[in-house]
Amino acid sequence: MRDQLDAQIWVENHEAFSAGIDRALTAVRSGLHRFGEWDGTTHQLLALLAAFAITALTFNATTVV
């Protein structure tokens, strides 16, 4: 019984972990594609810097000390 419950919990966590990894890889691929299309204009550079700043702040806010 215990083995069955442990296996079920492992499968559920594995599915959630796999979905998270898939989302992260999709976001990285999308970001690299958008960066490749950058034509060097100022508003795109500012948007890139703002997105980086928001991401950095979000990561720092979610870390557990």
Provide the pLDDT confidence category of residue 64 given band limits of 50, 70 and 90.
Answer: low
Whole-prediction pTM value?
Answer: 0.47
Distance separating alpha carbons of residues 42 and 54, to the nearest angstrom = 18
Task: Look at the alpha carbons of 14, 15, 20, 24 in this order and tell me if their dihedral is positive or negative.
Answer: positive
The 10s digit of each residue's pLDDT in 11-46 is 888 888 888 889 989 988 988 888 777 777 888 788
pLDDT confidence of residue 50: 93
Domain carrying residue 55: 2-62
Distance separating alpha carbons of residues 2 and 25, to the nearest angstrom = 34
Number of domains composing the chain: 1
pLDDT confidence of residue 3: 84
